[in-house]
Structure 1
Amino acid sequence: MASDKTNVMRVLEQHRIAYTAHTYPHGKEAVDGVSVAQLLGQDPAQVFKTLVARGRSGGCYVFVIPVACELDLKKAAKAAGEKSVELVHVKELLGLTGYVRGGCSPVGMKKAFPTVFDESVHAVSTVMVSAGKIGWQIECAPSDLLELTRAATAPLTLDQ
């Protein structure tokens, strides 16, 4: 099983963070997050997706929100201290982060970008994020993930 370890898992182990790895069946394409939650039998409120945006200043930011929610770009800009933010194009993702769409994790990116989790992360006992590879998720304590990624929390989603 050691060869199945992703970079995300290695980073968590380096920092002695307890986690549980989960896998789900998938094809070549990314599976939407709600489907991932269903495949894993998890509450979508506990499964978070990682989005990368660029601020008007040119800086990149990472926003981590529940899979069933949509990022509110105005709230994201406010949380980042920017006038506005736009999601980066999918073609830029690998070069910026080292991850592909559907396998993007807030842990272990090529560069540590300012990271903000949706404040709802405080309401869950464990949080799941991508393990850096399509078909793989890691589950751990929100406080460990926030500390490791030096993340802030803020309201980030469109009001449902």
Structure 2
Amino acid sequence: MTPAILLARKAKVSHEVLSYTHDPSAESYGKEAADVLGLDPRTVFKTLVVDVEGVGLCCAVVPVQGMLNLKAMADAVGGRKAKMAEQAAAERATGYIVGGISPLAQKKALPVVLDDSAPAYDRIHVSAGRRGLEIALAPADLLTLTKGILAPIGRE
């Protein structure tokens, strides 16, 4: 049981937990989850921690098949520019390890921006806080639980 799953349960949000055996040699955690679980990769989202000038650390939640547009991310949170956060800083702030960082129930609640492609799906999948563990929930519920915002931050 992870803090992310406990939060969803406590909030009584409709969700489903999916697990698989993580392969340490996998090149992409999100792509691995989509492949192993047989999920549409457009519904599997990765959580990336970025450092936004003038704002600090933030979480970008984008489809695993695409990439994060750093300029769009900075614009979404009112910063000047963004860069990927150092791994140690991301892990320290969220309380999760890279490859298992969830946008939910982070140690320090970081601002969350969800890519605007998410509402096209009834449910999306994000890390449940551990490698090999995904949580499926409605995009609106993810935004509510994280106090996040929706913005066009992804690119193919």
- Regarding TM over 0.5, the answer is yes
Aligned length: 155
Matches within 5 A, 1:73-88: 73-88=70-85
Q: CA RMSD in A?
A: 1.4
Report sequence identity in percent: 36
Aligned partners of 2:17, 2:54: CA distance in 1, in Å?
36
1:122 aligns with 2:123: no
* TM-score, structure 2 as length reference: 0.94
* TM-score, structure 1 as length reference: 0.92
Aligned partners of 1:25, 1:120: CA distance in 2, in Å?
28
5+ residue gaps, structure 1: none
Matches within 5 A, 1:1-160: 5-28=1-24, 32=28, 33-57=30-54, 59-158=56-155, 160=156
5+ residue gaps, structure 2: none
Q: CA, structure 1 residues 145+100, in 2 after alignment: closer, same or farther (shift >3 Å)?
A: same
Q: What displacement does 1:113 show?
A: 1.3
Deviation sequence 1:109-149 (CA, Å, 0-9, x none): 01111111000011011010000001100001111111111
Deviation sequence 1:95-117 (CA, Å, 0-9, x none): 11101011000001011111110
Higher strand proportion (structure 1 or 2): 2
Amino acid at match of 2:135: I
Aligned partners of 2:135, 2:53: CA distance in 1, in Å?
32
